[in-house]
Structure 1
């Protein structure tokens, strides 16, 4: 049996996707209120009955605020800032900087560009 939790974070940012044709609306500068959802899992609970304390995910909030919030993502990231690429980038950052400090493993990162559109990165498990 496995336990799972999820936590959402939001940030506002602008981007464009220059590899798209010039007449594609996403090739032009535009912005989103992004929602980043992380899902973590553990085989057993730690006292008092947590997968991990939600407060231990605060470093991700700080990273998003410092790196992406109210930024032009094309200048901040070394990748074209699609939702798919953002989900992978955030997952890699989380696994390196947060996962070693908590008793849970990251399963997925979902990035919502809008209330109806999202992309998900499923983290490979050892």
Structure 2
């Protein structure tokens, strides 16, 4: 069999419920008023080489992400939980990527490549980490 070169990628999804509103939108815009979503967030990691028995990163090592989401975002008003940003999906994806790189990635063999945030089943925003 021919050996191929490339990268391995894994993804882990997390879900939470939260509300938000987006200031600065025109009167009557549906997103200007307080409303809620069932959010889905996916973290995508990659590695040039697999570690351990053949992992990019052990999925169990991503438990701190679930703990942070459950404690800081789940069943919250995102404008209050994250007052430093306007809680669009785009901004939330970038925020979560930054948090992950600072708090989780240093202890992992894999590295974060992207975070995707979905407010609905048919829409998403993605932040790709530049290295």
2:87 to 81, 84, 87: 81
Once the two structures are TM-superposed, the CA of residue 22 in structure 1 deviates from its matched residue by 1.6
1:60 to 57, 65, 90: 65
Aligned length in residues: 125
Is 1:19 the counterpart of 2:24? The answer is yes
Match of 1:121 in 2: 127
Once the two structures are TM-superposed, the CA of residue 26 in structure 1 deviates from its matched residue by 0.4
Normalised TM-score (structure 1):
0.98
Structure 1 residues not aligned, in runs of 5+: none
Would you identify which runs of 4 or more consecutive aligned residues in structure 1 move more than 2 Å?
Answer: none
Structure 2 residues not aligned, in runs of 5+: 1-5
Once the two structures are TM-superposed, the CA of residue 18 in structure 1 deviates from its matched residue by 1.2
Match of 1:37 in 2: 42
CA distance in 1, matches of 2:8, 2:77: 36
1:2 to 3, 7, 20: 7
CA distance in 1, matches of 2:27, 2:89: 19
